[in-house]
């Protein structure tokens, strides 16, 4: 089956490409086939459109900390080894004090919060 690939220039083009990609996903073409190559190229175009029009922003560092606290049932006391005394933990959580590089390293090491999620707060 022959396919013609066209650029995604508009929101309508994007929606049409998503519908087409869904059909290919359901068909699960062999990657080595012509359909598989077309599907791969289509996905690349869709990803490029999404990167330009809907960039994924990194999570807010404080939200990342609060998420880990909620996820693991942690309290302010549990953050003391990573951030400092409870008053400092509250200042950080209430966005009154920025994370330092040392805090970022300790939060990453002690709580497993991805460093990339914490970087934006250092500065």
DSSP 8-state code for residue 120: G
**Domain limits for position 31:** 11-53
Co-location of 46 and 66 in the same domain? no
Residues 41 and 16 in one domain: yes
**CATH for 69:** 1.10.260
pTM strictly above 0.75: no
Residues 41-67: tens digit of each pLDDT: 999 999 999 888 877 676 789 999 999
CA-to-CA distance for 122 and 2, rounded, in angstroms? 52
Same domain, 86 and 110: yes
- Tokens 């922003």 identify what position? 57
Q: What is the pLDDT of residue 29?
A: 86
Q: Tell me, yes or no, whether 47 lies in a domain.
A: yes
> What is the mean pLDDT of the segment spanning 81-96?
97
Beta carbons within 8 Å of 123's beta carbon, 6+ residues apart: 98
Task: Examine the pLDDT at 20 and tell me if it is beyond 80.
Answer: yes
How many domains does the chain fold into?
2
Q: Is residue 2 part of a domain?
A: no
Asked whether residue 33 is domain-assigned, the answer is yes
Query: What is the maximum alpha-carbon separation in the chain?
Result: 66
């Amino acid at each position: 089956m022959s396919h013609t690939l066209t650029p995604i220039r508009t929101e309508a083009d994007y929606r049409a490409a998503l519908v087409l990609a869904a059909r290919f996903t359901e068909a699960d073409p062999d990657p080595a086939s012509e359909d598989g190559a077309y599907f791969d190229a289509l996905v690349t175009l869709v990803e490029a459109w999404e990167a330009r029009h809907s960039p994924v922003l990194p999570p807010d560092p404080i939200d990342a900390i609060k998420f880990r606290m909620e996820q693991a049932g942690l309290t302010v006391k549990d953050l003391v080894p990573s951030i400092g005394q409870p008053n400092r933990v509250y200042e950080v959580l209430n966005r009154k004090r920025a994370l330092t590089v040392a805090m970022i390293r300790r939060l990453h090491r002690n709580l497993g919060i991805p460093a990339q999620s914490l970087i934006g707060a250092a500065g």
